[in-house]
Amino acid sequence: MGMTKEFRTFALKGNVVDLAMGVIIGAAFSSIVSSLVDDVITPLLLKPALEAANLQDLDKLVIMGTVKIGSFLSAVIKFLLIAFILFLIVKGINRFKKKQEAAAPVTPEEIVLLREIRDSLKK
């Protein structure tokens, strides 16, 4: 098999395409979470702290002149939100899988007995 054909087979496998779609959706989701943190959560929850520091933006919160603690806090909030939402998604998927496994057809007892008889006759 030629290298180009092998690469094409690899690149067009479902797993690779699914991974690419996940990365693209993840990037879009990241911008939504960034907007949520910067435009909604920071003004609502951290407004008193920012006003006490005479700041309008969390990213401008600096201690000791050079340590950008505001940017760090913003990144931590974004990470926690993304991790929590992914946790909820995985939890939902696992619940769905459990329901599918529970709904799997159970082999009737007669068929199990017939299979045991067949196996013992083969011996």
Domains detected in the chain: 3-122 (1.10.1200)
Contact 46, 58 (CB under 8 A): yes
Tokens of 119: 């196996």
| pLDDT value at residue 20 | 80
Give me the residues of the chain with pLDDT under 50, please: none
Q: What is the pLDDT of residues 50-83, one digit of tens each?
A: 777 777 766 667 778 777 777 787 788 778 887 8
| pLDDT value at residue 8 | 77
CA–CA gap between residue 33 and residue 70 (Å, rounded) = 17
Phi and psi angles of residue 105, each rounded to the nearest 5 degrees, phi first: -65, 135
Of 61, 75, 93, nearest in space to 30 by CA = 75
| pLDDT value at residue 58 | 67
| pLDDT value at residue 104 | 65
| pLDDT value at residue 118 | 92
| pLDDT value at residue 14 | 65
